[in-house]
Each structure stands twice: as structure tokens, then as C-alpha cells.
Amino acid sequence: MEIAEEGQQNHFQQQERLQQQQHQIADLESNLERAALYGKQLLEQLHLKTVECDDLLEHRTQLNVELEDLRQRHHVAERHAQLASARERDALMEIDMLRSTAEENDRLRDEKRILEQRLRVVTLERERRLQSNNELEDELRIARTQLAIVQAEVKDYEQRESLKPNFSSVEDSTDPVSSPSAQWDAQLAEVLLDDVRQDKVVMESELAYYKNSIQEKNLEITELKGEVDSLKAAQIDPNRRGNSIFAEVEDRRIEVEARLAKMIARLRGAEEVKRRLRSQLAHCFASMKILARHTSQADQHYVAILEKEVMRLRNEVFACSARFSTKSKDETFTEKDLQGNPLAGLLLSERACTAALKKRLEELIVQEDQRTEEIIRLGSQLRKSQAFAEKLNKEHGILQLRLQEKKIAEANLDTDSGSSNDTGSKENSEPNVYREVLREVIEENQRIHASELQIKKCVDQVIGYKAISSSDVRLNDGLPDQSEATQPSTIKTKDQCRKKTALSDKENVPSATGECKPVDICITDRLKKVDFSQDTTNDDGKSESTNEKSRGRQVAVLKKTKAQQNSGECGMQ
């Protein structure tokens, strides 16, 4: 039974294998049919590709022929372009010559106009002086006649007096000089003279008004003449365009030259404003450097005013750059204008030059901001050090006065009591303490003076670097550097600068590098810890124990100040 079952199982397995093989054979036959169909399709595609290759070869031959034709045309166009460039160079040379002659004519015309104005002014002045001389001569003639009349009357009066010696008095009515009629005539003459002077002033004002109105009318006439000339040129323009082939190119060139002249004039104006602002900034920095030597409150107030002036000038630079950028945007050319223009390369180069100048201007503005902030910070440090120096000088004077009082007290004690050597040594120890205090104060003054010199050197270096950079900018403004880094310029606002100046003016605030100022910390600690009020004069009734305690306190204070000075010097280094 087992053998029969195994045989049946083997039979079933063989049947399954046969069925699998039959399925595989059917799959292979279907694959062969598909491969045959795919081979036919490939043969058809190959035939089509061969046909397309033949067509492409024919098209290639045609393109080669067209390429040769285009090369010949390109060669001819290059020759025409060379001729056009030569003509353009000649035209540009003629334009430069005409421009130079026009500038010379304008200069001569301006000189002539100035000389004519001067001649007119001189002639008017001469006429005025002649008129005034004539008036003075008339007045002199009248005065001489009046003087002759008065002299004659005086002679008559003297003769009458000589003839009438007994006549005691003469009535006022008979005196021609002091008579009421003569006084009335004199007052009337003064009133008339005042009226004449007022009329003269009114006539001079009217003359000035008429002169101004004449000048305005002349300007209006010149403007109208310019408009008439432009209208005439506009009427002649269409006829001139039809006369020559290059008329349109010349018109476009003239238009481009006019726009370039406007751009160059605006650039020069911007450069002039920038130069003027730089000179004002340099003047402000120099005045700040000079005024930093003084320590009065008026000088500090003036330094603050100068800082505000620096901020105002920097804002003017910002406004100038903004106006220049807006004007340059208004004058830019579009691609439509540049099509078919022989001066497109020149326009693009000028555009790149203006962009480089604008970028350079923004970088200079950023550098000026950084330098002004550095100088403001140094100025605040200098003011703090000056205030501390004043305090130390006052304390030095107080200590000197106390030392003198102590010496006087010691002299009085020596003269009064002829004391022993022990008391003398104790009394001599107190001036030694005061001498040590004075020595420490003098050393502190010297150290502060050295720090002030260092700050002034830093300010001088910053101003020197600014002068060198401004000279480099003047040299480089003509040819801008195209290889400069195109980093975005971070323009700071006025509020940020005010915040920074307010933070820098505070005491015991970390600096821009994030480190505290050891000099300010040492100064404040020393002012808190050292109390010079203990150095009072000892009366005769005090005991030796109180003197020893005071000396011990002073020695402890001196040790603390020395330790703080050493730590401050280490921090400074």
C-alpha cells in the first residue's frame, strides 16, 4: 500500500512538472512572437532613420552653403561697421572740437557780460558821484553866498557899533541872524533838506527796483530767445533728417550727449557737495580736537553741539545720496532706447561708472559713520578723564593746604614745648604719610595725563586715516574700482546713533568690544574707598592713641589704593 501511494504521488508530481513545462513552452512561444514583431518594428525604424539621415545630409549641405553666404555677409558687415566706427570717431572728434569752442565762447560771453555789468556799474557810480559833486558845488556856492551876506552884515553891524558907542543895547528884532524871520527860514530850510533826502532815498530804492526788473526782463527775453531757437530747430529737424543717412544717428548722438552732460553735471554737483561736507566734517573734528584740551562746561557744551553738527552733516550726506539715486533712476535708459544705437557701449560704461560711484559713496558714508562713532566715544572718555583730573587737582590742592597747616602746627608745637625725640619722630611720621598721599596723587595725575595723551593720539590717528582715505577717494573718484566687493551697505539711522552715544556717555558701561573699562572702574572704586576727610589737623588736646589710629587708617587706605592701581594697570595692559 505504501508503495502504491508513493507511486501515485510520483505520478502527480510528474504531471505537475509536465504542466509547468507546457506553460513555460507557451510563454516562450509568446515571447518569440513578440520578439519577431519587435524586430520588424526595429527594421522599419532603421529604414526610417536611414531616410532621415539622407535628408539631414542634404540639409547639412544646404546649411553649409548658407553658412558660407552668411560669412561673406558678415565680412561685408564688419567692413561697413569699421567704416561706421571711423565715421563715428571723426564725428566725436568734431563734437569735442565744437564743444570746446562752445565752452570757450560761453566763457568769453560770460566775461564780456561781467565786464559790461562792471562798466555799467562804474558808469552809474561815476554819474552818481558827478551828480553828488554838482549838488555839493551848488550847496557850497549857496553857502559861500550866505557867508558873504553874513560877513557883510557883520561888517555893517561893526560899523554901526563903532559909529554908535553910546548905544547900549540893540533889539533882537534888528539882528538879522537871531531874528524870528531868520530862524523860521533856517527851520524851513532844514525841513526842505530832510524832504530832499527822503526823496533821494525813495528815488534810489525805485532805481534799484527798476534795475532788478530790467534784469528779470532781460532773463525772460533770453529764455524766450532760447525757446524760439528751439522751435526753429524743431522746424528744421524733419527736413534735415531727410537730407542725409546719418541724420537720425546724429540726432540720437546729440540727445545722448545732452543726457550724459546732465548726468556728469549732477555727478559733479554730488561730488562738490560731498567734498564740502567732508571739509566741514574735517573742520568739526579739528575744532573738537582743539576744544578737547579745555575742561570747562562751556567747552563740553560746545563739543556736544559739534557732535550734533556731525550728525546733521551725516544726514545731509544721506539725503544727498538719496536725491542722487532718485535722479540717476529718472535718467536711466531702457533696452528699447539702446536698440540700434551706436553709442550703446558708451552708455553702458557710463552707467557702470555711475553705479560704481554710487557704491563708493555708500561705502564712504558707512566709513564716516564708523569714524564719527569712534571719535564721539573717544570724546566721551576724554571728558570723563578730564572731570576726574579736575577732581584730583582739587583734592591735591586741599592736601597741600592741609600739609601747610600741619607744618604750621608742628612749628608752633616745636616753639612752644621743646619736646623729646619720641614725640618729634611721631610728629614727623604724619607729614611722611601726607607726602605718600601726595606722591600717589601726583602719580595718578601723571597716569591720567598719559591716558589723555593716548586718547589724543588715537584721535589724531583716526583723523589722519580719514585724511588719507579722503585723498585716496579723491584720486579714485575719477576711475572707480570695478573689483570692489559688492557687499550690502548697512546705513544706520539717526536714532541708532543717538542710542549709541547715550550708552557711551554712561559710566561703568561695557565698551563696544564687550569689555569693561578698567580705568573707569578703578577711578570709581578709588573715589568710593579713599576718604580724604580723615586727614584733618590734630589739635593740641588730642592724645597719641588717636594719632596712631588715624595713621593706621591712612596706611590701610594707601595700601588699598596701591593694590587697586596695580590691578588697574594690569587691566589696562
Instruction: Centre a 10 Å sphere on the Cβ of residue 47 and count the other Cβ atoms it contains.
Output: 10
Please report, in angstroms and rounded to a whole number, the separation of the first and last CA atoms in the chain: 112
Same domain, 210 and 153: no
Question: Torsion over CA of 449, 450, 455 and 460, rounded to 10 degrees?
Answer: 100
Q: Are the CB atoms for 501 and 307 separated by under 8 Å?
A: yes
Write a three-state SS string for 187-211.
HHHHHHHHHHHHHHHHHHHHHHHHH
C-alpha of 415 from chain center: 72
* Domain end point (choices 224, 243, 262): 243
| 351 in any annotated domain | yes
Same domain, 559 and 426: no
What is the rounded CA–CA span in Å between residue 333 and residue 217? 37
Q: Characterize 60-92 residue by residue with b for buried, 16 or more Cβ atoms within 10 angstroms of its Cβ, and e for exposed.
A: eeeeeeeeeeeeeeeeeeeeeeeeeeeebeeee
What is the rounded CA–CA span in Å between residue 247 and residue 501? 62
What is the pLDDT, as a whole number, of residue 296? 52
Same domain, 478 and 336: yes
Same domain, 377 and 330: yes
| 427 in any annotated domain | yes
Summarize the chain as % helix, strand, coil (round to 5): 85, 0, 15
- Residues of the chain where predicted confidence (pLDDT) is lower than 50: 167-177, 238-243, 295, 329-331, 419-420, 422-429, 472-545, 570-573
pTM > 0.85: yes or no: no
| 476 in any annotated domain | yes
Q: What is the DSSP code (8-state) at residue 467?
A: H
pLDDT digits (tens, 9 = 90+) for 347-365: 666 667 777 777 777 787 7
Same domain, 281 and 196: no
Q: Helix or strand or coil: residue 141? A: helix
Same domain, 100 and 34: yes
| 323 in any annotated domain | yes
Query: Widest CA span of the chain, in angstroms?
Result: 208
Same domain, 459 and 569: no
| 549 in any annotated domain | yes
What is the per-residue DSSP string for 54-87?
HHHHHHHHHHHHHHHHHHHHHHHHHHHHHHHHHH
Same domain, 146 and 26: yes
What is the rounded CA–CA span in Å between residue 13 and residue 24? 16
* Domain end point (choices 103, 132, 163): 163
Same domain, 331 and 429: yes
In one letter, which amino acid is 11? H
Number of C-alpha atoms within 13 angstroms, CB side, residue 89?
Answer: 5
| 30 in any annotated domain | yes
Same domain, 339 and 372: yes
Q: Are the CB atoms for 168 and 162 separated by under 8 Å?
A: no
What is the pLDDT, as a whole number, of residue 184? 66
| 500 in any annotated domain | no
Number of C-alpha atoms within 13 angstroms, CB side, residue 251?
Answer: 15
Same domain, 255 and 239: no
* Domain end point (choices 219, 243, 267): 243
pLDDT digits (tens, 9 = 90+) for 481-536: 433 333 333 333 444 444 444 444 444 443 433 434 433 434 344 433 333 333 33
Q: Are the CB atoms for 559 and 436 separated by under 8 Å?
A: no
| 327 in any annotated domain | yes
User: How many domains does the chain fold into?
Assistant: 4
What is the rounded CA–CA span in Å between residue 573 and residue 571? 5
Domain that holds residue 209: 182-243
Write a three-state SS string for 379-444.
HHHHHHHHHHHHHHHHHHHHHHHHHHHHHHHHHHHHHHHCCCHHHHHHHHHHHHHHHHHHHHHHHH
Give the cell for residue 45: 525604424
Same domain, 323 and 304: yes
